[in-house]
């Protein structure tokens, strides 16, 4: 296992977040910060600027807003702030996180319609084109990397249909931003949502939204919540640089800033993507050699973020025993989240390197040998 984790971590998190972080990120949380102090405010502003530069070359057209809470808080902030009273949103979903957006929209009493697909199925572009003929639809939302399975949805192709009909395009890039290269201006995304504890490799505590300025400026007074008023949060950060409306997670913010510096040192998003991709390909090949079947075909739509495997066709297999065996060997994996399949998931992101995946495969092989005995 990576020597960094032998120092002070009992196991490596092979999950889609929270994930294993570097020693530097964890050490960055050992200092206390005052939310009114200029040094902290400058740190927040530097984060906002760095996020926009990571997202697009067209930095003057976009802005970043940080929002307390998990990534889901930021998703709900976008839905609750950006859809006007007369608006109508189409939510395209093929997994638990797209379904969560639908649940949020209904709780917010938005005028919402859905296109629902099985967890292992890609959205159908013809279906989407047909739905977009509805002139009442003003906004469209979809998840980029659906970590229910590891499926990477065709966001660029969907977005082209959305923008051809002049709709506002909302993308939940929770588990892809920072780990999959793309330019949100090239893909014409209006609101992109992600979280501190995903591919940037920070720790949980806040999410963020990277938005087109012209779209966010139109959202004043539309929020259905005080705490999750995305426009008001952004306005405060613009008028009082570095300020959050309410108490910010100062230790988490500092850790995230350090994580951004580490991403830059690694070589940026493209370099991190290559590491994640190597992890995923090594994992999939090794698990298949051990007799495990991937739920998603290993093609362009299998993300480098997380991989889902079917339980082996062995009546002796127990996920609980398998999980505990791997945990005792220093690895924590995820149970499955697909409603109709017996499966489990293994993440490839975080401070995880190909040597770690190779050690994991050795541990899986040991369990496999023991289980068959």
pTM: 0.94
Say if residue 240 is in the same domain as residue 289. Answer: no
Say if residue 281 is in the same domain as residue 200. Answer: no
Say if residue 361 is in the same domain as residue 290. Answer: yes
Whether 66 and 238 have beta carbons less than 8 Å apart is answered as: no
pLDDT in tens, the chain (373 residues): 444 444 456 889 999 889 999 999 999 999 999 999 999 999 999 999 999 999 999 999 999 999 999 999 999 999 999 999 999 999 999 999 999 999 999 999 999 999 999 999 999 999 999 999 999 999 999 999 999 999 999 999 999 999 999 999 999 999 999 999 999 999 999 999 999 999 999 999 999 999 999 999 999 999 999 999 999 999 999 999 999 999 999 999 999 999 999 999 999 999 999 999 999 999 999 999 999 999 999 888 999 999 999 999 877 889 999 999 999 999 999 998 888 889 999 999 999 999 999 999 999 999 976 555 5
The CA distance from 174 to 153, in Å, is 13
Say if residue 189 is in the same domain as residue 326. Answer: no
Say if residue 215 is in the same domain as residue 344. Answer: no
Residue 310: give its domain's CATH number.
Answer: 3.90.1150.10
Q: Which residues contact 304 (CB under 8 A, 6 or more apart)?
A: 179, 180, 273, 276, 277, 279, 280, 348, 349
For the chain, the domain total comes to 2
Say if residue 153 is in the same domain as residue 254. Answer: yes
The CA distance from 193 to 371, in Å, is 42
Say if residue 98 is in the same domain as residue 202. Answer: yes
| Domain end residue (candidates: 204, 232, 264) | 264
Say if residue 260 is in the same domain as residue 283. Answer: no
| Domain end residue (candidates: 229, 264, 299) | 264
Say if residue 284 is in the same domain as residue 360. Answer: yes
Say if residue 64 is in the same domain as residue 210. Answer: yes
| Domain end residue (candidates: 264, 290, 308) | 264
Q: Which domain holds residue 299?
A: 3-21+268-372
Say if residue 130 is in the same domain as residue 245. Answer: yes
The CA distance from 97 to 354, in Å, is 28
Classify burial at 299, counting beta carbons within 10 Å of its beta carbon; exposed 0-12, middle 13-18, buried 19 or more. Answer: exposed
**pLDDT for residue 56:** 98
**pLDDT for residue 190:** 98
Q: Which residues contact 80 (CB under 8 A, 6 or more apart)?
A: 104, 108, 223, 224, 225, 228, 229, 230
Say if residue 198 is in the same domain as residue 251. Answer: yes
Residue 203: give its domain's CATH number.
Answer: 3.40.640.10
């Amino acid at each position: 296992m990576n020597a960094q984790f032998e120092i002070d971590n009992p196991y490596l998190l092979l999950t889609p977040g929270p994930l294993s972080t570097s020693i530097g990120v964890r050490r960055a949380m050992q200092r206390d910060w005052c939310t009114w102090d200029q040094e902290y405010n400058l740190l927040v502003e530097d984060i906002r600027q760095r996020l926009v530069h990571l997202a697009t070359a067209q930095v003057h057209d976009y802005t970043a807003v940080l929002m307390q809470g998990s990534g889901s808080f930021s998703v709900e902030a976008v839905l609750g702030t950006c859809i006007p009273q007369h608006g109508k949103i189409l939510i395209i979903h093929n997994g638990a996180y797209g379904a969560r957006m639908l649940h949020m929209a209904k709780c917010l009493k938005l005028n919402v319609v859905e296109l629902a697909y099985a967890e292992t199925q890609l959205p159908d572009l013809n279906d989407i084109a047909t739905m977009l003929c509805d002139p009442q639809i003003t906004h469209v939302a979809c998840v980029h990397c659906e970590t229910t399975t590891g499926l990477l949805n065709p966001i660029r192709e969907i977005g082209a249909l959305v923008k051809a009909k002049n709709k506002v395009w909302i993308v939940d890039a929770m588990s892809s931003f920072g780990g999959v290269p793309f330019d949100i201006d090239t893909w014409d995304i209006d609101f992109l949502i992600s979280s501190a504890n995903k591919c940037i490799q920070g720790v949980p505590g806040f999410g963020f939204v990277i938005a087109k300025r012209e779209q966010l400026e139109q959202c004043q007074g539309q929020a259905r919540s005080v705490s999750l008023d995305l426009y008001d949060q952004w306005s405060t950060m613009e008028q009082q640089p570095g300020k959050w409306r309410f108490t910010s997670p100062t230790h988490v913010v500092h850790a995230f800033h350090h994580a951004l510096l580490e991403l830059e040192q690694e070589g940026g998003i493209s370099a991190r993507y290559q590491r994640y991709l190597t992890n995923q390909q090594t994992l999939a090949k090794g698990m298949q050699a051990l007799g495990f079947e991937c739920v998603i075909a290993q093609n362009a739509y299998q993300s480098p973020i997380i991989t889902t495997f079917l339980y082996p066709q062995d009546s002796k297999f127990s996920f609980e025993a398998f999980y505990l065996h791997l945990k005792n060997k220093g690895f924590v994996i995820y149970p499955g989240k697909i409603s109709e399949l017996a499966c489990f998931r293994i993440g490839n992101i975080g401070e995880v390197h190909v040597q770690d995946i190779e050690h994991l495969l050795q541990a899986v092989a040991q369990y496999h040998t023991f289980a068959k005995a």
